[in-house]
A and B are shown apart, each in its own frame.
Chain A
Amino acid sequence: MKPETIHFKVDARNLSCPMPIVKLKKQINTMEVGQIVELVATDPGSQSDVKGWSQQTGHELVHNEQVDKEYFYYIKKSK
């Protein structure tokens, strides 16, 4: 389910691997546990990247969806 509250947004549109997750990591570093960040990307490769990133870092990918050519990811800082 798309989260009700989004605390931060990262715009990674028109950026290819690895920039979407590099920017995501940078944002997560500034956040508090429990806060949610929305990442928007146009790179189709970001789908596997964000999933892999979430598994490796332990931050939960709460929800993701695709609207036209944009991919939306909602990640909760989990630790």
Chain B
Amino acid sequence: MTAEKRKMAIIATKGTLDMAYPPIILATTAAALDWEVGIFFTFYGLNLINKKKYKKLKVGSVGNPAQPLPVPNVVGALPGMTSMATRIMKRWMKKSNVATYPDLLQAAIDSDVKLFGCQMTMDVFGMKRDDLIPEVGDCLGAAGFLNYAADADITLFI
């Protein structure tokens, strides 16, 4: 039986703390299953690999009626509420023994998960290659990424 590695491509488009987890957990898990995995960070997903931002991801409390502790938007918009929502989420994560995003990112790097930046949105946000963590591989365009994803068994848009 040919043991060709399964391949997964993930497009990570969000930069809030809550949305940082799905791509990184799926990627590290797939790598632990011996799959080849690549994550294409685009738009706000670039925060997840931005040197200055990846350790300071936040989650807000405005306009998210799905959150477990519902807060009226007008209250959620007050100064300090985003920090509080972020603190609460981090506390829940810790209580459930979920690793922090920086630790999961390191685990992904250690497992050879490929990290790609989206050149176009980097330009849009004025982000330079140097603003990203050094472990990022190529900065691709859409066609470059689609070329990577073309033979992926699973492609996820997050």
Residues of chain A whose beta carbon lies under 8 Å from any beta carbon of chain B: 14-19, 21-22, 24-26, 42-43, 49, 52-53, 56-58
Contacts and interface: CB of A to CB of B under 8 A. Distances in A.
B33 A53 contact: yes
Interface residues of B, number: 18
B98 interface: yes
A21 B99 contact: no
Interface of B: 3, 6, 25, 28-29, 31-35, 96-99, 104, 107, 110-111
Given A15-B97, A16-B96, A16-B97, A22 B107 contact: yes
B95 to A, nearest CB: 10
A49 to B, nearest CB: 8
Contacts of B28: 18, 22
Contacts of B33: 21, 25, 52-53, 56-57
A24 B32 contact: yes
Dominant secondary structure at the B interface: loop
Given A19-B107, A21-B29, A14 B97 contact: yes
16 contacts: A15-B97, A15-B99, A18-B25, A18-B28, A18-B29, A18-B32, A18-B107, A21-B29, A22-B31, A24-B32, A25-B111, A26-B110, A42-B97, A52-B33, A57-B34, A58-B3
B34 A25 contact: yes
Given A17-B25, A18-B25, A25-B111, A53 B97 contact: no
Given A21-B29, A22-B107, A25-B111, A16 B34 contact: no
